[in-house]
Structure 1
Amino acid sequence: MTTEYLRDDHFKIIGSIETDSTGKQVGRDAHFARVGEYNPREDKTRDSHFRIVGTGNQLSALIWRSVK
């Protein structure tokens, strides 16, 4: 599993995206709370309540939306 960290303009970590061996990705906020997941086989992004957010990978947008 690989992890990519997303940072703001001041280099503070605002979230992360974990990718497993199948390509499925899970987005987490700065407190490691799950904000959503992307499944490349379906090409859909789901939020933390497993509702479809849209097609394509939109995890970074979900992480930015969780920043307060």
Structure 2
Amino acid sequence: MSREAIKDRYQRTLGYIVTEPSGRQKALNAGQRTLGYYYPQQDVTKDAAQRTIAHGNVLPSLIYHAG
């Protein structure tokens, strides 16, 4: 699993994007709460409750809006 920190312009960590071995990505806020998932096979982003919120990968925007 790889983990990428998402930071604001002041270098404060807003959250993380974790890429799982299956290719699925998970967005976490700075407190490690799950915000949503990106499924590359379907090209769909879903929120933490598994509701489709966008086509394509919009995980960074979930993190920015949560911060």
Q: Same fold (TM over 0.5)?
A: yes
Gaps of at least 5 residues in structure 2 are none
Gaps of at least 5 residues in structure 1 are none
- Cα RMSD for the two superposed structures: 0.6
The equivalent residue for 2:10 is 10
Alpha-carbon shift at residue 28 of structure 1 (Å): 0.3
Which structure 1 residue ranges, 4+ long, deviate > 6 Å from structure 2?
A: none
Alpha-carbon shift at residue 22 of structure 1 (Å): 1.6
Alpha-carbon shift at residue 48 of structure 1 (Å): 1.1
**Is 1:20 paired with 2:14?**
no
Task: State, as a whole percentage, how many aligned pairs show the same letter.
Answer: 31
Classify the secondary structure of the residue corresponding to 1:65: helix
Task: State the AA in 2 paired with 1:51.
Answer: R
